[in-house]
Amino acid sequence: MALDKATIEKLAKHCEDAEINAYEITKITDDYPEMTYEDAFDIQWTARRNKEARGTKIIGMKMGLTSQAKMKQMGVENPCYGYLADYFAYGDGAEIEIDKLIHPKVEAEIAFVLKEDLAGPGCHIGDVIAATDFVMPAVEVIDSRYKDFKFDLKSVIADNSSSSRYVTGGQARDIKDLDLKTLGVVMEINGEIVQLGAGAAVLGHPATSIAMLANMMAERGETLKKGEYILSGAITAAIAVKKGDNVNVKFQDLGSVSFKFV
């Protein structure tokens, strides 16, 4: 740990203010090159506790940077995680106000809801399948607070892994009835196909990503909780959107998720 408590608090507010008021900041490691991974997670968890203290409910978690392609695209070495706040959540058919965001991008994901708490270390794909109540299709809207989406892994962790909004729809299904590895996804924007993918893009299988999340959280003595909504990571590349765009994502065996940026 390289940063003191006062600096962690200051940086948590710095990132959260940028998120709430939708403005760009430069990556934290430019000013604090000595920042460690522990500091970065401390900043994220401090912002989360500050939101909770103000009455915001944290309703789940997300994994990010879960594909080799995405890690390469962003120039980072490992996946990361973040939390989902109540006001991030939208339903099928939603209209999302783009002026409240900076430079949003959309990506198709499988969401998990647990019927039991899930704890690492040593959590594996079988534990995740046994603890899953149901899975649902989702589209995550990421919105890095960093200028031009330029960051390193520590800075992105401090910025809650670019969490911003998510839309859920389609059908809730039993994970045991699905092959999430081969499950196909078609993303359309304004009726044009912009991305295709399959569940295996997410660390080989989306449930593997949830196991990794439980193991990463265990490093801080934290666990995934029953009933939490958990985004497992992007099946498609993240696509930039603009005002007026209609997003429609079709998930094999799970239905579709549609919404609009207004």
Residues in contact with ligand 0L1 by CB under 6 A are 64-65, 70, 74, 140, 142, 144, 149, 156, 161-162, 233-234, 238
**Contact between 140 and Mg ion (CB under 5 A)?**
yes
* Whole-number CA gyration radius for the chain: 17
Q: Map the footprint of Mg ion across residues 64-83, applying CB under 5 A.
A: 64
Backbone angles phi, psi at 36, to 5 degrees: -100, 170
Inter-axis angle of helices 5-21 and 37-53, to 10 degrees? 60
Q: Which secondary-structure segment (H or E) carries 211? A: helix 206-218
CB of residue 10 vs Mg ion: minimum separation in angstroms? 27
Q: Map the footprint of Mg ion across residues 9-28, applying CB under 5 A.
A: none
Q: Which secondary-structure segment (H or E) carries 48? A: helix 37-53
From the list Mg ion, ligand 0L1, none, partner contacted by residue 152 (C-beta under 5 to 8 A by kind): none
CB of residue 105 vs ligand 0L1: minimum separation in angstroms? 7
- Of the candidates 190, 23, 150, the one whose C-alpha atom is nearest the C-alpha of residue 99 is 23
From the list ligand 0L1, Mg ion, none, partner contacted by residue 161 (C-beta under 5 to 8 A by kind): ligand 0L1
131 or 234: whose CB is closer to ligand 0L1?
A: 234
- Burial class of 234 by CB neighbour count within 10 A (0 to 12, 13 to 18, 19+): buried
3 or 231: whose CB is closer to ligand 0L1?
A: 231
Instruction: Tell me which residue has its CB nearest to ligand 0L1.
Output: 64
Q: Map the footprint of Mg ion across residues 208-247, applying CB under 5 A.
A: 234
Question: Any idea what the Cα angle at residue 175 is, between residues 174 and 181, rounded to 5°?
Answer: 145
193 or 240: whose CB is closer to ligand 0L1?
A: 240
From the list ligand 0L1, Mg ion, none, partner contacted by residue 65 (C-beta under 5 to 8 A by kind): ligand 0L1
Query: Before 137, cis peptide (omega within 30)?
Result: no
Binding site for Mg ion (CB under 5 A): 64, 140, 234
